[in-house]
Structure 1
Amino acid sequence: MTYVARLFSDPGDAVEHVDHEFYDRVTLIDAGENTTRITCSGCDGDIDLEWLYDLIEENGESFDNLDVTVPCCGAVVSLDALRYDWPVGFARFEVSAMNPTRAKYELDDQELADVAVLLGHPVTQILAHY
Structure 2
Amino acid sequence: MSDEILKIVPTNPYWQPHPDDAASLVELVRTFAREAHIEEYWHQAVEFMDCGSNLAAVGCPHCGARIEFREWDDLMTSRYDNGFTTLEVEVPCCGSESTLNALDYHWPCAFGRFAVELRNPGRAGFTDEELIELARALGHPVLQVRARL
TM-score interval w.r.t. the shorter chain?
0.7 to 0.9
What is the rounded CA distance, in whole Å, between the counterparts of 2:70 and 2:82 in structure 1? 14
What amino acid is the match of 1:7? F
- Identity, % of aligned positions: 34
Report which structure shows greater RCO (CA 8 Å, sep ≥6): 2
Q: Could you tell me the TM-score, scaled by structure 1's length? A: 0.81
Number of equivalenced pairs:
123
Counting only pairs closer than 5 Å after superposition, residues 25-44 of structure 1 correspond to structure 2 as 25-44=45-64
Counting only pairs closer than 5 Å after superposition, residues 90-105 of structure 1 correspond to structure 2 as 90-101=111-122, 104-105=123-124
How far the C-alpha of 1:96 sits from its partner, in A, is: 0.5
| Residue of structure 1 equivalent to 2:31 | 6
Q: Are positions 1:125 and 2:135 aligned together?
A: no
What amino acid is the match of 1:115? L
Unaligned runs of 5+ in 1: none
How far the C-alpha of 1:55 sits from its partner, in A, is: 4.0
Residues 74-115 of structure 1: per-residue CA shift (max 9 Å, x gap): 3321112211121111222100001122xx441112221111
Distance 1:129 1:54, change over 3 A: farther
What is the rounded CA distance, in whole Å, between the counterparts of 2:53 and 2:65 in structure 1? 21
How far the C-alpha of 1:37 sits from its partner, in A, is: 0.9
Unaligned runs of 5+ in 2: 1-25
Q: Could you tell me the TM-score, scaled by structure 2's length? A: 0.72
Picking from 90, 107, 126, the partner of 1:107 is 126
| Residue of structure 1 equivalent to 2:41 | 21
Instruction: Give the match's secondary structure for 2:148.
Output: coil
Instruction: Give the match's secondary structure for 1:124.
Output: strand
